[in-house]
Amino acid sequence: MTVQQLKYIETTPVLETERLILRPITPQDADAAFVWLSDERVNRFMPYDLYTNTDEVLHWINVILPDDNNFHWGFVLKENDLLIGSGSIGPDAKTIGAWGFGYNIRFDCWNKGYTTEATKRMIRFAFEEHGVRDFVSNHAVDNPASGRVMEKCGLVFDGFSEYKTFDGKQTFQSKTYKMHIEQENGFAVTRRLFSIRPSPST
Ligand SMILES: CC(C)(COP(=O)(O)OP(=O)(O)OC[C@H]1O[C@@H](n2cnc3c(N)ncnc32)[C@H](O)[C@@H]1OP(=O)(O)O)[C@@H](O)C(=O)NCCC(=O)NCCS
């Protein structure tokens, strides 16, 4: 294991929700991760290329993940110890002070509330452990399930935007969601949006 991988594992805390364990992803997870990384239905709106073999997955786990500036977890079902997907949270490249997040999970686990459960936990981690108060995320206009996850986590639609795949070949029109939370009487409460922008068509 490389120094970077050890650092990634040491600095990624194991988190828990009602049905999930969020933990670092290791090379032993390559076969499980291949299930969603090689699935066109999961990949459709993601910025990465579809994975075609487990060597590519191992490259992601061994080289790309440990080098990532975000906190990155595998989502594991408590009931059977199955790794069903992954998610990350970290400083947003465009909005100073805000953190952004992302996620993807295997197709047969969609629409069971798992991603919302995991994302709420990632947000709580950022809020409690890193003092983050502003959150931002965006999803392709044609991928409303992701927007629904954002809404269920407390974010509110803020305007339209776009993002590209990592190879720059595809551009997705997207919707941006934001949330500002503050500590009040021991509870995190949504206070305000930090900006509202008009859509490009208005
Ligand atoms: C987006 C994704 C992570 C959601 O994961 P999930 O575990 O199914 O999410 P949840 O079950 O917590 O919530 C999904 C919500 O979207 C809703 N939904 C699903 N399809 C929808 C659609 N076509 N239109 C509107 N809402 C939809 C579900 O009903 C559910 O909302 P509800 O609880 O109010 O009923 C999953 O679909 C996925 O991995 N997609 C591929 C990767 C991806 O697109 N990642 C996001 C990139 S921005």
How high is the pLDDT of residue 173?
Answer: 98
- In a domain? residue 72: yes
- In a domain? residue 115: yes
State percent of the chain over pLDDT 90.
Answer: 86
- Model confidence pLDDT, tens digit, residues 34-70: 999 999 999 999 999 999 999 999 999 999 999 888 9
123 closest CA partner among 109, 137, 106, 139: 137
> 134 lies in which domain range?
3-192
Query: Residues enclosing ligand 1, CB less than 6 A?
Result: 42, 45-46, 102-105, 110-116, 139, 143-146, 148-149
Long-range residue pairs from 166-171, CB within 8 A, at least 24 positions apart, any chain: 166/47, 166/48, 166/49, 167/49
CA 74 / ligand 1 centre spacing (Å) = 17
pLDDT at 202 > cutoff 50: no
How high is the pLDDT of residue 189?
Answer: 64
- In a domain? residue 199: no
Q: How far is CA 18 from the centre of its chain?
A: 18
pLDDT at 123 > cutoff 60: yes
- In the chain, the number of structural domains is 1
- In a domain? residue 198: no
- In a domain? residue 202: no
- Model confidence pLDDT, tens digit, residues 171-189: 999 999 999 998 765 556 6
CATH number of domain containing 139: 3.40.630.30
How high is the pLDDT of residue 191?
Answer: 59
CA 87 / ligand 1 centre spacing (Å) = 14
Choice from 149, 155, 173, 174 to test ligand 1 binding pocket (greatest atom count within 8 A of CB): 149
Distance CA 148, CA 144 (A): 6
